Chain A
Amino acid sequence: MKKLLILSGKGGTGKTTVAAAFIDFLNAEAFADCDVDAPNLHLVAGMNTLPERWDYFGSQKAFIDPPKCVGCGACLDNCRFDAIVLRDGICEVDEYACEGCGVCEYVCPQSAVTMSDDVAGEQMLYKDSRVFSTAKLKMGRGNSGKLVTGVKKALISAAPDSELAVIDGSPGVGCPVIASVSGVNLVLIVAEPSLSGIHDMERILKTAVILMAKVAVCVNKYDVCMERWRTSKDIAEKRACPL
C-alpha cells in the first residue's frame, strides 16, 4: 500500500479540503484522518455505514486512595508534572496534568497510589466498499502520537490490498505530525501564500527533512497575496520540492 500524507504546518490552509478532493477523484478505497485533535474528514467522507468503535488507552493515570494518604507530600515533591495537589491534608491527582510516569506510586510510603488505565479517546473504523479509519482524542489528553499510529494501523489491517491510501494529517510539527509521517511514501504540504503560511511551511519542510520524508508542495488560495505566492514558489524550488 502506498501512503500519501497531507500536512501543512499552519492550520486552516486546506488539508482536509485537498484530502477529500483526492479521495473523491481517486475513488480511494482506503483513507484516514490522523488529525485526532480536531478531526473533520468524517464530515465529508460520505460513509454510509456506522463505524466499528473502540476505546483508545493512552498513558495510565495515578489515583491516590484518600483513606491511605497521610499527606506526607513525597509524591508532591517528586512529581515533575505538577500533577499532585495537596487539599485538606491529603494528596490528590490532577488527571489532566498526570502523565502516568508512576513516580508517585514508587515513592509513596503508604502504598496509597495505584496506576490505572485511562480511556484517552476513541477509534472509529468505517467499512463499506471503502475503508475509513479515524479517531477522536478526549479533551486535554496527551500522547496523541500513539493514537495516530493506531489510526494508521487500523487502516492498513482493514485494507491490506488497497494500492493507495490518502491520509489527512494534523497542523503543527509535534507529536501527532511526527507519528503520522512514519512509513508514508509522500508528504504533500498544503501551504498558504501568507506571511505565517510561509513561515509554517518552512518549519514543516525542515521537520520533513529531519524525518527523511519525501515531500511535495501545493499552494492553496494562491491569489490572496501574489507576492507571497512567488515567495512560496521560490522556497519549493530552492528545496527541490515538486510544486
Chain B
Amino acid sequence: MKLAVLSGKGGTGKTFVSVNLAAAAGSATYIDCDVEEPNGRLFLKPERLTSKTVTTKQPAFDAEKCTGCRKCVDFCRFNALVYVKAKPMLFSEVCHSCGGCRLLCPSGAISETEKPVGVVECGESGGVRVVTGCMDLGEASGIPIIKAALAEASNADELTVIDCPPGSACSVMESVQSADYCLLVAESTAFGLHNFKMVYELVRLLHKPCGVVINKADGEYIALDIFCREHGIPVLCCIPYSEKLAWLGASGQIAALADSKYAKLFHSLLDDIRKEACV
C-alpha cells in the first residue's frame, strides 16, 4: 500500500507522522518528497547510503550551425531563451526541459546536456528503507526529484509512506498521484483548518480515499471537527500537544521507538489506515 501523508499547512507534523508510521510498521519504505526541505532522514538516520544524481535536460547551442533564425526563442513559452547578438542565449533556471527548441531547430544546432538539479539518496534504518529526494539550492522546481524518488517505491504488498511537501501546488499533486490512501495531518487552529480545507479539496479532486490525524490537539477546536463530520472524513487519531513530544521531536528522536505509549498509538493508527484503505 502506498500511503501519502500531507497537510497543506507546514509544520503540522507530516514528517513526524510519516516517520513514526514507518518505524511502527517495522518493515516499510519511507520516501521523502518534501525535496526542498527533506527532514525524515534526520530522524531515521539511514545507513549504507547510496546516492543518485537527478538531472534535467538543457539545450546546448552549436554556434557554428546556428543561423540566428530565432525560431527557438519565439517558441519557448517559459522565456528561457533570449535573443542576444543574433543568437539564442539560455537562462537555465527558467528552462522547463520540454525539448521543444531542439525539436524545431531547422539547422540541427541544438543538442541537449544533462544538468544536475538534486539527488535521491537511499539507505536503511532497521527494517525501513529510507529514500530521500533533495533539491539543489537555487533550483526552482522539485518535480524531477520527486519523480525520481517515487520511482524507488517498493512493491504493492509492502507499506510505502510518502512524506509530501506542504501546500497544494504541483509538487503535492505529483507526490499524491500514485497513492492508494491519503493521510491528512491537521492542526486544530484557524490557520491549520484553512489550509486543511485546501488540501482536502486536492485529495477529492484526485478521488483518493482519505482520513485525518489531528496533531498537537490542545482543547476543543470545534470548527475542524464540524468540517470533518460534515464531509464524512474519518478522524483516525488525535494526538494531544505535549511538551515531551515536542522535545523528543526537537532532539531528533522517533516517539514510537522512544516511548511505548506512542508505539501503541502509531500501531493502532496503522491498523486503522489499513482497514480504511481496504474499504
- Seen from chain B, the residues whose Cβ lies within 8 Å of a Cβ on chain A are 8-12, 15, 36-37, 39, 42-43, 57, 75, 77-78, 96-100, 103-104, 135, 137-143, 165-173, 187, 190-191, 194-195, 198, 201-202, 205, 243, 246-247, 249-252
A194 touches B249 (CB 8 A): yes
Partner of B11, one of A12, A60, A145: A12
Please measure, in the bound complex, the distance between the C-alpha atom of A145 and the C-alpha atom of B140, giving whole angstroms: 9
Q: Which of A54-71 contact B (CB under 8 A)?
A: 59-60
Could you say which of A22-30, A100-108, A122-130, A153-161 contacts chain B? A100-108
B137 touches A196 (CB 8 A): no
A200 to chain B, nearest CB (A): 5
B250 touches A10 (CB 8 A): no
From DSSP, what is the main secondary structure of chain A's interface residues?
loop
Q: Mark A131-164, 1 if CB is under 8 A from B, else 0.
A: 0000001011110110000000000000000000
Partner of A196, one of B42, B77, B96, B198: B42
Can you name 27 A-B pairs with beta carbons within 8 Å? A10-B11, A11-B9, A12-B10, A16-B191, A37-B166, A37-B167, A38-B10, A101-B100, A103-B100, A106-B103, A107-B103, A137-B169, A140-B173, A142-B143, A171-B36, A171-B166, A173-B36, A174-B171, A192-B250, A194-B250, A199-B37, A199-B39, A207-B137, A224-B250, A225-B246, A225-B250, A227-B251
Query: Any chain B CB within 8 A of the CB of A230?
Result: no
What is the chain A residue whose CB lies nearest that of B141? A175
Size of A's binding interface in residues, CB under 8 A = 55
B137 touches A11 (CB 8 A): no
Contacts of A195 in B (CB 8 A): 39, 42-43, 249-252
- Seen from chain A, the residues whose Cβ lies within 8 Å of a Cβ on chain B are 8-13, 16, 37-38, 40, 43, 59-60, 78, 80-81, 96, 99-103, 106-107, 137, 139-142, 144-145, 170-175, 178, 192-197, 199-200, 203, 206-207, 210-211, 224-225, 227-228
Please measure, in the bound complex, the distance between the C-alpha atom of A11 and the C-alpha atom of B187, giving whole angstroms: 13
A169 to chain B, nearest CB (A): 11
Q: How many A-B residue pairs have CB under 8 A?
A: 167
Partner of B39, one of A37, A101, A196: A196
B99 touches A103 (CB 8 A): yes
The verdict on A196 contacting B15 (CB below 8 Å), with A139-B205, A142-B170, A225-B247 known, is yes
A141 touches B77 (CB 8 A): no
A193 touches B142 (CB 8 A): no
B215 to chain A, nearest CB (A): 10
